[in-house]
Structure 1
């Protein structure tokens, strides 16, 4: 009796369902992401409307929607949102303008890296909130203080991450450019920066997400506007509906800005995704 064996080189039939590192379609990704939010709201509604959690500690989704309507119609919440967005992007752009050139210099030139990296690495671990008392003394409680909190929380992260991205350039490309007659400035301008540009853009996208966490800290003290100010006032009134809505608004704005950043990166650096 003879038996036939499947050749060793023949690919195995894929099993249905989830498999490690197996990609999913874009439609399935959207549906799965939406399903989690639906499940989260369902559990939240069940816990609050079912009486498992006191309304004093956690408002129900229905109460949150009512409070959200009051915020927009009676308390000018759109102005608070606008002020918070301005502070985030103002501090973040200021940090990026300073940090990206310094990070490129650190990644490209080892003496610059040896000079700056110990200080940058030290500052990277300092919480931005710890600077608030000093910043209030130096800049008062106006917009400058809030922009500086976001700046301090972002600038050192960007410098180090950009330096790592630039410093990881392929050596063979650098040597090829030298062979073709490029000088040091040409290497940086024509090899290192174009090669690191997608990574730098991704770094900025990630740090922008961190900047949204710093703005609330900046607005908790000495602020008369902004989402953080609204959250602080709502805490004094034990209005958990407004607190939750403020947190959700921050998440939604951050998510939208993240999608915009991703779309812009795909458009500008489509060649890096091939």
Structure 2
């Protein structure tokens, strides 16, 4: 009979702990301190932005200080103000906007054409073993072929127009994109496919409505990564009988030892690439908000 009061006392203690009433453990009611150094931990948005801005300012300050120190000739390392002046002169001459627009067009066209072909191909390579056996070894082989080596062939097959430049960017991004997308597809849990089969879904429905939709967040991340590769092949593409574009301007500046314009072109490419990368981040957050809510 003495057990009943003891049970009631323990029950009351548990309820007090859960409801936070007096007598509960104060530690249980304290919010744990956020550890930004925890593995895969979280960080306040403002602090993240502050650290990111600091990293850019640190590099800029180091570059500026080294240029002004006299240890390196300004012919090889112009200061940031000199680079800005070169960009201003480039703009005054009227070709900066045109060069930027044509380069963005070439990168976008080559990237979009790669995605249009690579997404369905990667989807089927990752879904069907016979397709994987037929195409994956060939794509694996082709992705190790340098895009620069295709320049003579592209000139022979396509000519010196815009198609040649877009083709070089396509070659540089397509094969990598196919393999990454096929890996995204293979990471779809088998339980989802088995559940769809149990419910009587056809193969085409499983591929398009289950596998593709489940892999889509990872596919968008893959597109974001390969967009960076498209920009890296821009200068190579604009070596192909070009007379405009940021890559062409950089090569022309190299011939006349205009180091400031070279730095300006490189920084401009990096800035545009970063903006497009952030655009993909926003698209990912907008399309898949449940992956970003904690």
TM over 0.5: yes
For structure 1, the 5+ residue unaligned runs are 1-9
Q: Which of 25, 30, 39 is the aligned partner of 2:58?
A: 39
Deviation at 1:210, TM superposition (A): 0.7
Q: Encode CA deviations 1:146-176: one digit per residue, 9 max, x unaligned.
A: 0000111111111111111112211111111
Deviation at 1:99, TM superposition (A): 0.8
Q: Which of 107, 116, 120 is the aligned partner of 1:101?
A: 120
Q: Encode CA deviations 1:99-130: one digit per residue, 9 max, x unaligned.
A: 11111111111110111010011111111111
1:161 aligns with 2:177: no
| TM-score scaled by length of structure 1 | 0.92
- Number of aligned residue pairs: give it: 267
Q: Which of 248, 251, 258 is the aligned partner of 1:239?
A: 258
Match of 2:196 in 1: 177
Taking the aligned partners of 1:40 and 1:189, their CA distance within structure 2 comes to 46
| TM-score scaled by length of structure 2 | 0.86
Q: Which has the higher contact order (CA 8 A, sep 6+)?
A: 1
Summarize the Cα distance change of 1:273–1:41 in structure 2 as closer, same or farther, 3 Å threshold. closer
Preserved CA contact (<8 Å) 2:102 2:244: yes
Match of 1:84 in 2: 103
1:209 aligns with 2:228: yes
Summarize the Cα distance change of 1:129–1:176 in structure 2 as closer, same or farther, 3 Å threshold. same
Superposed CA RMSD: 2.1
1:262 aligns with 2:271: no
Deviation at 1:16, TM superposition (A): 7.1
Deviation at 1:256, TM superposition (A): 0.2
Match of 1:148 in 2: 167
Preserved CA contact (<8 Å) 2:35 2:41: no
Match of 2:15 in 1: none
* Rg comparison, structure with higher value: 2
Taking the aligned partners of 2:128 and 2:248, their CA distance within structure 1 comes to 44
Taking the aligned partners of 1:213 and 1:15, their CA distance within structure 2 comes to 39
Taking the aligned partners of 2:185 and 2:141, their CA distance within structure 1 comes to 20
1:192 aligns with 2:211: yes
Deviates more, 1:140-149 or 1:249-258: 140-149
